[in-house]
């Protein structure tokens, strides 16, 4: 059967294709990941996190780094300093109520609920690590001291990539292309604070990802004349390296990924497939 390839443009002020994400540390790959871009296709089609993505995951993936951008670090702190001790906090969170039980039962002052500034000690600040209590289901804070959380997030700034998805059914690719142009859910380049800029879809063309990317013009702001290209290879083969980037499920309670094989090579693009109306 004849292979066809959908071309899309991944460009914006910021991108962040996380490899591993913790509460206080979020990294980014230096190029778009298959799991991240398949997630964007699923969002465009209106799929929920628990919906089946087998058809999208079976697409053969490749990405070309026309403009690799630069890694950018965002450092911030949250939840530091004092925080008002509200009656609702004491009613709904037994952990917090126990911590200030003595202070609240013995406090006297000019108005109802008065609590001396020092009565709660140094422990009470903005609630952090909020999650349901295992016994009651009520949202409580696992940490409520006055020390702020430090967060470090990494992004790719001013980057532009060409991504390609290969399939034997051109109608399926055209359905995805139409969804990307009129998405049912918001699209982002890896993370929710990284929206794509300008036109995304270039078109669907006959041929494999290698041939179509080789025939596709460089993006207008490209910094590489022969950019690196990462092309998915058969898992049973020996080309390239294994990376844990094949999505099986986006269910927040059961996210699953397995290894896939990827080869890196340089491609000198042609001009058969061109870009127009790009912002």
Question: What's the confidence (pLDDT) of residue 276?
Answer: 77
CA distances from 147 to 85, 121, 143, 144 (A): 16, 13, 10, 8
Domain boundary pick from 147, 170, 186? 147
Question: What's the confidence (pLDDT) of residue 83?
Answer: 73
Q: Identify the residue whose tokens are 């290879």.
A: 233
Contact between 10 and 156 under an 8 Å Cβ cutoff? The reply is: no
Please indicate, yes or no, whether residues 63 and 159 belong to a single structural domain of this protein.
yes
Mean pLDDT for 218-223 is: 92
Its domain, for residue 123, covers 80-147
Q: How far apart are CA 153 and CA 159, in angstroms?
A: 17
Q: pLDDT exceeding 90 applies to what percent of the chain?
A: 57
Please indicate, yes or no, whether residues 156 and 243 belong to a single structural domain of this protein.
yes
Domain boundary pick from 125, 147, 169? 147
How many separate domains does the chain show?
Answer: 2
Instruction: Compare 238 and 11 and report the one with higher pLDDT.
Output: 11
> Residue 78: pLDDT band by 50, 70, 90 thresholds?
confident
Q: Is residue 275 part of a domain?
A: no
What's the pLDDT tens digit per position in 141-198? 877 777 888 888 899 999 999 999 999 999 999 999 999 999 999 999 998 889 999 8
Please indicate, yes or no, whether residues 140 and 108 belong to a single structural domain of this protein.
yes
> Residue 97: pLDDT band by 50, 70, 90 thresholds?
confident
Please indicate, yes or no, whether residues 243 and 170 belong to a single structural domain of this protein.
yes
Q: How far apart are CA 244 and CA 98, in angstroms?
A: 45
Question: What's the confidence (pLDDT) of residue 26?
Answer: 81
Mean pLDDT for 218-244 is: 90
Q: How far apart are CA 100 and CA 85, in angstroms?
A: 10
Please indicate, yes or no, whether residues 69 and 115 belong to a single structural domain of this protein.
no
Q: Is residue 277 part of a domain?
A: no
Instruction: Compare 98 and 234 and report the one with higher pLDDT.
Output: 234
Q: Is residue 231 part of a domain?
A: yes
pLDDT value at 110 more than 70: no
Mean pLDDT over all residues of the chain?
87
Mean pLDDT for 55-81 is: 92
Structure tokens at 272: 């058969």
Please indicate, yes or no, whether residues 90 and 212 belong to a single structural domain of this protein.
no
Please indicate, yes or no, whether residues 69 and 84 belong to a single structural domain of this protein.
no
Phi, psi of 166 (to 5 degrees): -110, 140
Please indicate, yes or no, whether residues 117 and 178 belong to a single structural domain of this protein.
no
> Residue 94: pLDDT band by 50, 70, 90 thresholds?
confident
Mean pLDDT for 52-79 is: 93
Please indicate, yes or no, whether residues 88 and 222 belong to a single structural domain of this protein.
no
Please indicate, yes or no, whether residues 244 and 188 belong to a single structural domain of this protein.
yes
Please indicate, yes or no, whether residues 56 and 191 belong to a single structural domain of this protein.
yes
Question: What's the confidence (pLDDT) of residue 122?
Answer: 61
Q: Give the long-range contacts of residues 127-130, CB within 8 A, separation 24 or more.
A: 127/79, 127/83, 127/89, 128/78, 128/79, 129/23
Q: Is residue 182 part of a domain?
A: yes
Question: What's the confidence (pLDDT) of residue 231?
Answer: 97
Phi, psi of 20 (to 5 degrees): -140, 140
Domain boundary pick from 100, 127, 147? 147
Question: What's the confidence (pLDDT) of residue 118?
Answer: 62
Please indicate, yes or no, whether residues 188 and 138 belong to a single structural domain of this protein.
no
């Amino acid at each position: 059967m004849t292979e066809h390839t959908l071309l899309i443009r991944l460009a914006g002020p910021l991108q962040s294709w996380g490899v591993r994400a913790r509460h206080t540390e979020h990294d980014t790959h230096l190029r778009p990941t298959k799991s991240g871009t398949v997630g964007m296709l699923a969002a465009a089609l209106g799929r929920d996190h628990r919906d089946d993505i087998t058809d999208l995951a079976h697409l053969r993936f490749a990405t070309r780094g026309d403009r690799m951008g630069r890694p950018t670090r965002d450092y911030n702190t949250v939840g530091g300093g004092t925080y008002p001790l509200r009656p609702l906090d004491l009613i709904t969170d037994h952990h917090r109520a126990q911590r200030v039980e003595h202070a609240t039962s013995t406090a006297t002052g000019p108005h109802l609920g008065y609590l001396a500034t020092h009565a709660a000690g140094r422990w009470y600040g903005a609630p952090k690590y909020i999650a349901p209590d295992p016994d009651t289901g009520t949202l409580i804070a696992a940490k409520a001291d006055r020390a702020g959380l430090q967060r470090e997030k990494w992004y790719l700034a001013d980057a532009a990539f060409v991504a390609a998805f290969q399939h034997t059914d051109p109608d399926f690719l055209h359905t995805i292309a139409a969804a990307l142009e009129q998405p049912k859910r918001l699209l982002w380049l890896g993370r929710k604070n990284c929206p794509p800029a300008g036109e995304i879809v270039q078109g669907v063309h006959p041929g494999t990802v290698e041939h179509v990317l080789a025939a596709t013009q460089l993006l207008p702001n490209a910094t590489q004349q022969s950019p690196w290209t990462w092309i998915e290879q058969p898992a049973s083969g020996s080309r390239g390296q294994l990376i844990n980037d094949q999505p099986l499920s986006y269910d927040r309670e059961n996210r699953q990924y397995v290894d896939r094989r990827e080869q890196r090579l340089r491609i000198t693009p042609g001009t058969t497939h061109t870009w127009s109306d790009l912002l």
